[in-house]
Amino acid sequence: MLTLQEVVQSIDHTLLNPVATEQDFRNLCREAKELGFKAVCVLPCYVPFCAEQLQDSAVVVATVIGFPLGANSSKVKAVEARQAFLDGAVEVDMVIKMGALKDHKLNDVYEDIRQVVDVARSFAERKLVKVIIETGLLTDEEKRWACEMAVKAGADFVKTSTGFNGGGATVEDVRLMAAVVGKEAQVKASGGIRTWEQAEKLLQAGASRLGTSSGEKIVKQYQALYTIEGVNKEL
């Protein structure tokens, strides 16, 4: 049973287009404030700008690390994360070393995540780490390994996809990931989420956060279905 408040607080309003302009990010932040989204997820170079735009609101800034391939060294990812937090981000979404996972080098995957988590934990104010495992490129067994390494390293979330490397969020993947992490972490569904119908199914499957550039559309669809004369109904 999701209220409108719960729906909007599940959304990371996302803009990761490499040719997005400052005005695009200004509009993103305005929409996030007006609709009450949990976060904006933006390119690292726009973290300071978005943090300034959102300083008078409860919306937090998230950014991406090692994006979109996960191929940066772990040290570089740690540096990226530290700079992002210093610039005003509260959450980072990092891409794992997918090649290491394919090679069954699980300790390398663990260390990659741990270094970013250690940076997050070094700040007095709580910072969150979401681990993008890129489900569309993995077998179910590999998805389980990735989730296990994320939990072992202390990550706060596991996340389905970047949206840049094929595939996207599916109910089946969210269920699998939620089953693996249990209460040790949360699940963020991301990639191709464009309607309330999709969002609802993913939230029901176990996601607690949704990464989408269609947040405004999703909220309007929810309101059209479940709001009568301006009064929000519970599902």
> Hey, what amino acid is at 155?
A
The yes-or-no answer on residue 143 being catalytic is no
Identify the active-site residue in 97, 127, 130, 159. Answer: 159
For residue 234, count CB atoms less than 10 angstroms from its CB and return exposed for 0-12, middle for 13-18, buried for 19 or more: exposed
191 neighbors 167 (Cβ within 8 angstroms) = yes
- Cα–Cα dist 101/47, whole Å: 30
Strand partners, 188: 159, 209
* CB half-sphere exposure, 210, CA atoms < 13 A: 31
User: What is the CB neighbour count within 10 angstroms for residue 107?
Assistant: 12
- Cα–Cα dist 21/11, whole Å: 22
Nearest to 54 by CA among 21, 31, 85, 84: 31
The yes-or-no answer on residue 156 being catalytic is no
- Cα–Cα dist 210/193, whole Å: 8
Identify the active-site residue in 93, 112, 156, 173. Answer: 93
12: its two tokens: 């990371």
* CB half-sphere exposure, 39, CA atoms < 13 A: 26
The yes-or-no answer on residue 97 being catalytic is no
Task: Cite the active site residues.
Answer: 93, 159, 188
